Amino acid sequence: MPTTALRAGQGTALHECLISIGSNIEPELNFTQALSLLRTECDLVAHSQAIRTPPVGFLDQPDFLNAALLIRTALTYEAFRLYLKTVENRLGRVHGPNKSGPRTMDLDIVAWNGELLDQGYLEYDYVRLPVDEVLTVSGRSLMTKKG
C-alpha cells in the first residue's frame, strides 16, 4: 500500500488509533520490523515498552512480546483495519486452525478516536498495561460505548 494513502495531506481529517501488538515467533525481530514499517508508513504518535507475557488460551507455545501503539491516520476505520492485516501478512502471519496459536505478528485495534472497541483491554493485562502506558505518555484517555 503506498504511504501517501496513509499520511494525511494538509486539511485532511485524522483519526487516532490505539493498536495492541503481539508476537511470539521471533518476537524481537518481528517487533523491530513492525515498528519500522509503521513508522515509515504511518504517523506513529506514541508507543509503549514491550512486555513479555505468557500465552492465553493455547498454552503450549512460547511467551509473547506485547506492546501498544498510538497512530494517526487519514484512512477510515475499515481501510486502516485492512492495512494492519496487510502488515501482518508482510511480516509472515499465517492464520492456522488454532486462533490462539503462535504468530509472527498480531495487530489489533483497541480504540478508534478514543472509543474503546476491544474488550480485551478490560480482560487482559497484556492489552491493558501497554495501552495504559501509551495513554499516560500521550495524555489521552478512553471512552466506552454507551448503550
CA angle 6, 139, 48 (to 5 degrees): 65
What counts of helices (H) and strands (E) characterise the chain? 4, 6
Q: Which of 108, 118, 128, 140 is catalytic?
A: 108
Digit-coded pLDDT (tens) for 125-146: 999 999 999 999 999 999 876 6
Q: Catalytic residue at 103?
A: yes
What would the mean pLDDT of 76-86 be, rounded to a whole number?
Answer: 97
Residues 67 and 47: beta-carbon distance below 8 Å: yes
Q: Is the pLDDT of residue 77 over 70?
A: yes
Helix (H) or strand (E) holding 29: helix 27-41
Residue corresponding to grid cell 495524555: 139
Question: pTM for the complete prediction?
Answer: 0.87
- What pLDDT is stored for residue 30 in this prediction? 94
Averaged pLDDT of the chain = 88
SS3 35: helix
The pLDDT of residue 67: 97
Q: Is 50 exceeded by the pLDDT of residue 1?
A: no
Catalytic residue list contains 43: no
pLDDT in tens, 33-75: 999 999 999 999 999 999 999 888 777 888 999 999 999 999 9
Catalytic residue among 39, 60, 63, 106: 106
Q: What is the pLDDT of residues 101-120, one digit of tens each?
A: 788 999 999 999 999 999 99
Catalytic residue (choose from 52, 103, 118, 125)? 103
Catalytic residue selected from 93, 125, 132, 140: 93
**Distance in angstroms (rounded) separating the CA atoms of residues 28 and 46:** 19
81 included as an active-site residue? no
Identify the structural domains of the chain with CATH numbers, from first to last: 3-138 (3.30.70.560)
User: Which residue is listed with cell 509472515?
Assistant: 92
